[in-house]
Amino acid sequence: MRQLSISGAWVHEPKVFPDSRGSFHEWFKGPDFAEAAGHGLQLAQANYSISSRGTLRGIHFADVPPSQAKYVKCVRGAVLDVIVDIRVGSPTYKQWEAVRLDDVDHHSVYLSEGLGHAFMALTDDATVVYLCSEGYAPGREHGINPLDPELGIEWPEGIAPLLSDKDAAAPTLAEAEEQGLLPTHEACQAYYAELRARD
């Protein structure tokens, strides 16, 4: 588990063992995860999505607490996975980091509660699985437009983004902040401390 530039986000870079039959790797290890995050991964829901090339999902987040932490892996094809710090008051507020997830290197990312998440499919039939700490709850789920120019996320050139109507109509980060939708850094830190105290 390698810490990313945004606190509360890590990338897991497993060793892959190829042979004449195929390959093997461990895409999640509880002890390594707990050492990095400071607590175990509570699993409440597992999601599976298949996306055509150019599909852009996100930026999604949920109210804190309990929000929804995610452990994300691409099992077929490739995606550009993006984590956005939307925690008002965070030292890295408005910053983002992109990680390529694919079926070659088999990296995974973990993003803590309160962070925004989006990804773009770089291939057809890009298949993503993610483990979630909480189940989907429509009343506390929100979105930010992934093409918000203020965020300036560098999506791959030459690929036309395909957004759902809901994601296309999502507010900008500034609008979401004005509407009081964003989590605060203080509330997130308090919740992380609560998670560590449980273990």
Choose among 137, 168, 133: nearest CA to 57: 168
Residue 187 in any domain: the answer is yes
pTM for the model stands at 0.96
Assess contact for 136 and 66: CB atoms under 8 A.
Answer: no
Instruction: Decide if 22 is inside a domain.
Output: no
What does the pLDDT average to over 121-139? 97
DSSP letter for each residue of 51-68: E-TTBEEEEEEE-TTT--
How far apart CA 130 and CA 168 sit, in angstroms, is: 22
pLDDT at 199: 79
Output the pLDDT for position 167. Answer: 98
- Note the pLDDT tens digit of each residue in 147-169: 999 999 999 999 999 999 999 99
The values of phi and psi at residue 166, to 5°, are -65, -45
pLDDT, mean of residues 121-129: 98
Domain count, the chain: 1
In a domain, 143, yes or no: yes
Mean pLDDT value of segment 6-17: 97
CATH number at residue 153: 2.60.120.10
Each residue's pLDDT tens digit, 38-94: 999 999 999 999 999 999 999 999 999 999 999 999 999 999 999 999 999 999 999
Active site amino acids: 60, 130
Whether 186 is in a domain gets the answer: yes
Structural domain range at position 143? 2-17+39-198
**Mean pLDDT, the chain, whole residue set:** 97
Residue 28 in domain:
no
